[in-house]
Chain A
Amino acid sequence: MSETTRQDSVQQGNGKVQTSHHPETDPNRKDKHYYGIPPIKHAHWTWQVPVYFWIGGIGAGVQMFSTVAQILGHGDKDLQRVSRYTVLVTMVLSPILLIWDLGRPERFLNMMRVIKLRSPMSTQSWSLVAFGNLAGLIAARQAAEDGLLGTDNVLVRLTKLIPDRLLSLLALPVGLNVGSNTGNLISATSVPIWARNWVFMGPVFLTSGLSTALSWLSLYLRLTRSGRPETLHALHRAEKATILIEAGLIAASLFRMSRWAKPLFSKTVAPLFVGGTLIGGIAAPFALLRGEEDRRKSILASVLVLIGGLAFRFAMIRAGRISADDPEAYFTFTSGENAPQPEDKV
């Protein structure tokens, strides 16, 4: 405290010396809470969780794009190959990241003790298991077709019995759940910024997952100069539309979060959210994708969308931590109609 401010505080109130801490004269004591100590606790989640949200979202989005292509009878072998291997890789990495983040990683199998439809973490674990296994089977069939398992041995013949197209259809809803559940998982907590946005959290994570997935596919196909022109064209159009939907959902989320959205614009999160997500991950790539399709612009846009998606996940998790640590946010949230009430059950 500098000498002048000390003087000021000593001389508050009729210029008389203060005898004790007093809520009437000490601005720090005006708020209705307990010494600013957070009334709820934030999640311990470290970098593995936002990275998983990002990777899982890509897996879900790739599954969506490739399955829709399959349903429409769009037989692009390059697209099919990269999609199947991508989903496999994301589904191998996701559980690794999640188990890494556990306090007792060796007990990860306890997640499989029960199925609890009320617990997003439980449904998430089960969806990952299902999606991972389906992705494994589908990718095995792909590997057999690509000759990666050798030629004409028993293994290849067995693997070729896998009904890959049927399994892809089955994997679609499971994958979509992996993609959106990440959002629903964080909104089913007591953290104001997350809980408040329960309507849009799942959709925004799913949409952002799809946009990163489309960017990944387009980036890969353009870099390797593979894929049919129709595929690239469809990717280009879908990317533009998805970015727009994502922007709309983020705007809706901000509107919904209202005053509790503040942490997203705080000093530590704003660079990620405003710089990384809104400008770098949405506005800039959209500008690049507008107009004529151009290979180099498209590659740059894809890279930006991928980075923006990762920044978005980190921003959301960090903002949640700030929100949970802020007594003012929690108490304003739980002191009125703002808090979800039992009677407005869905």
Chain B
Amino acid sequence: MATGFLTDTTVCIGCKACEVACKQWNQLPADGYEFTGDSYDNTKQLSGTTWRHVAFIENPKKRRLTGDVDLVALAEDVTEPLPGGAELDALGRWAFMSDVCKHCVAAPCQQACPTGSIIRNEFDNVYIQPDICNGCGYCVPACPYGVITQVPNDGRAFKCTLCYDRQIDGLEPACAKACPTNSIQFGDVEDLKVIAEQRVQELQDKGYTQAYVWGTPEVGGTGGIDGNHSKFILMDEPEVYNLPRHPFLPQEKFRGGVIASAVAATVLGAVVALAFRD
């Protein structure tokens, strides 16, 4: 059985409980005090020491907020024309999205790893064996989602283990357990796929036609990666969540590169041989 996550961004309230639960359970070090000044999100991104990251997306869309704005009327969702000709169609939307390792079906990081440290475990999750990794760092630029980094001072690469240790004991991952809105669901990927489709249908029926599942081969595009075991329900373009639209398997082109190099080697050999002619 393959297990995975379904992260439903439409119910996420940005409480960051998953981030904290993950740090705590996995005993991950702090990332330091950084103040981006951009938003309420000071974690910024996934890394070797942050395996869940909640993105805070200020998404006012095309809405204009001009003139004398009556904030009370705004909060109460008043729709009648405002005094002074102020244009208003509500404050826009906060979007939150708890990002995590996608546990790719054909995982680029796993293919890149020269030590065989990155494996698929019995739950079909992509897992870095910490006793094998030698910190070559090649998995880092290979990941199309910027999930892995090499942890300074430690030297090795780390990422979400999908709480391998908890799964062995029959527990769900710490983030899914801590999530108060069930935005993070854990389970069999096949089941999650059905749940995701139902949820998207429900949203569409309610008029949120922009809702879709990202991370399946059919939708959202995962060129060569064959989909992700961590799926997401998104309400906007992938880039808004800092996700690529058509991620691709970097190793797909390796063979082509080797063939091109062999051709080049032959030509160069001939050139050198010709240089010896009188």
Chain A residues engaging chain B, CB cutoff 8 angstroms: 13-14, 16, 19-24, 32-35, 37-45, 64-65, 68-69, 71-72, 74, 101-105, 107-108, 110-111, 113-114, 116, 118-122, 124-125, 176-177, 180-181, 183-185, 187-191, 195, 198-203, 206-207, 210, 230, 234-235, 237-238, 241-242, 245, 249, 320, 324, 327, 330-331, 334-336, 339-342, 345-346
Q: Contact: B275 with A39, CB < 8 Å?
A: no
**In the assembled complex, which residues on chain B have CB atoms less than 8 Å from the CB atom of A24?**
60, 62, 64
- B249 smallest CB distance to A (angstroms): 7
**In the assembled complex, which residues on chain A have CB atoms less than 8 Å from the CB atom of B250?**
187-190, 195, 340
Nearest opposing residue in chain B for A203, CB measure: B264
A16, A21, A103, A207 — which one has the most chain B CB atoms within 10 A of its CB? A103
- B32 smallest CB distance to A (angstroms): 16
| B14 interfacial by beta-carbon distance below 8 Å | no
A21, A45, A121, A199 — which one has the most chain B CB atoms within 10 A of its CB? A121
Q: Contact: A116 with B114, CB < 8 Å?
A: yes
Nearest opposing residue in chain B for A199, CB measure: B260
| B134 interfacial by beta-carbon distance below 8 Å | yes
Q: Contact: A237 with B275, CB < 8 Å?
A: yes
Q: Contact: B257 with A103, CB < 8 Å?
A: no
**Per-position binary interface string of chain B over residues 228-271, scored 1 when its CB falls under 8 Å from any chain A CB and 0 otherwise:** 00000000010111111111111111111111111111011101
| B192 interfacial by beta-carbon distance below 8 Å | no
Known A22-B60, A119-B111: A16·B249 in contact at CB below 8 Å:
no
Q: Contact: B256 with A206, CB < 8 Å?
A: no
Q: What separation, in Å, do the CA atoms of A187 and B138 have in the docked complex?
A: 12
| B3 interfacial by beta-carbon distance below 8 Å | no
Q: What separation, in Å, do the CA atoms of A121 and B248 have in the docked complex?
A: 19
Q: Contact: A121 with B112, CB < 8 Å?
A: yes
Q: What separation, in Å, do the CA atoms of A73 and B156 have in the docked complex?
A: 50
Nearest opposing residue in chain A for B144, CB measure: A190
Partner of A335, one of B239, B262, B274, B278: B239
Q: What separation, in Å, do the CA atoms of A21 and B237 have in the docked complex?
A: 20
Partner of A180, one of B247, B264, B267: B264
**In the assembled complex, which residues on chain A have CB atoms less than 8 Å from the CB atom of B276?**
68-69, 72, 74, 230, 234
- A301 smallest CB distance to B (angstroms): 15
Q: Contact: A32 with B239, CB < 8 Å?
A: yes
Q: What separation, in Å, do the CA atoms of A336 and B59 have in the docked complex?
A: 24
- B46 smallest CB distance to A (angstroms): 9
Q: Contact: A335 with B148, CB < 8 Å?
A: no
- B156 smallest CB distance to A (angstroms): 6
Q: What separation, in Å, do the CA atoms of A210 and B251 have in the docked complex?
A: 26
**In the assembled complex, which residues on chain B have CB atoms less than 8 Å from the CB atom of A21?**
58
Q: What separation, in Å, do the CA atoms of A42 and B148 have in the docked complex?
A: 10
Q: What separation, in Å, do the CA atoms of A237 and B257 have in the docked complex?
A: 28
**In the assembled complex, which residues on chain B have CB atoms less than 8 Å from the CB atom of A64?**
265, 268-269, 272
| B182 interfacial by beta-carbon distance below 8 Å | no
Nearest opposing residue in chain B for A204, CB measure: B264
Known A110-B134, A190-B143, A241-B275: A207·B240 in contact at CB below 8 Å:
no
Partner of B114, one of A20, A22, A121, A200: A121
Nearest opposing residue in chain A for B115, CB measure: A110
Q: Contact: A40 with B145, CB < 8 Å?
A: yes
Q: What separation, in Å, do the CA atoms of A183 and B254 have in the docked complex?
A: 10
> Which 8 residue pairs of A and B lie closest in terms of their CB atoms, listed nearest first?
A103-B135, A103-B155, A346-B256, A202-B261, A203-B264, A180-B261, A107-B134, A34-B242
| B44 interfacial by beta-carbon distance below 8 Å | yes
- A304 smallest CB distance to B (angstroms): 20
- A67 smallest CB distance to B (angstroms): 9
Q: Contact: A34 with B55, CB < 8 Å?
A: yes
| B179 interfacial by beta-carbon distance below 8 Å | no
**In the assembled complex, which residues on chain A have CB atoms less than 8 Å from the CB atom of B138?**
43, 119, 121, 185
Q: Contact: B150 with A103, CB < 8 Å?
A: yes
Q: Contact: B223 with A346, CB < 8 Å?
A: no
**In the assembled complex, which residues on chain A have CB atoms less than 8 Å from the CB atom of B156?**
103-104
Binds A, one of B4-12, B65-73, B203-211: B65-73
Q: What separation, in Å, do the CA atoms of A112 and B120 have in the docked complex?
A: 20
| B45 interfacial by beta-carbon distance below 8 Å | yes
Q: What separation, in Å, do the CA atoms of A192 and B245 have in the docked complex?
A: 14
| B163 interfacial by beta-carbon distance below 8 Å | no
Q: Contact: A202 with B258, CB < 8 Å?
A: yes
Q: What separation, in Å, do the CA atoms of A20 and B64 have in the docked complex?
A: 10
